[in-house]
Amino acid sequence: MKLTTTEYSLLALLAQNEGRVLTHHHILKEIWGPSYTDQSQYLRVFVGQIRKKIEENPNKPHLILTASGVGYRFFSKE
């Protein structure tokens, strides 16, 4: 599996905060910078791309979970 630089940065941020919900605002600020904090469509696209690469079934994710209206949470397979 190959990840782009942005996908890797996003996955690394989520993994470093395993089990914690990271808000859309926080993730966007950390990965794309403060001028992108209202660009949640970036985040949806990239999370979708990562899910296709790492989830057994991207339509029923177990690793990157959505906290509806808030953000995302990562859980490792272990």
**In 3-state terms, what secondary structure has residue 65?**
strand
Average pLDDT for the chain: 95
Q: Comparing 16-25, 42-51, 68-77, which segment has the lowest mean pLDDT?
A: 68-77
pLDDT of residue 1: 83
The type of residue at 67 is A
Domain boundaries, the chain: 5-74
Q: Does the pLDDT value for residue 77 go beyond 90?
A: no
**How far does CA 33 lie from the centroid of its chain?**
15
Q: What percent of the chain has pLDDT over 90?
A: 92
Which CATH class name applies to 5-74? mainly alpha
**In 3-state terms, what secondary structure has residue 53?**
helix
- Whole-structure pTM value: 0.92
Q: Is 71 exposed, middle or buried (0-12, 13-18, 19+ CB in 10 A)?
A: buried
The C-alpha atoms of residue 29 and residue 67 are separated, in whole angstroms, by 18
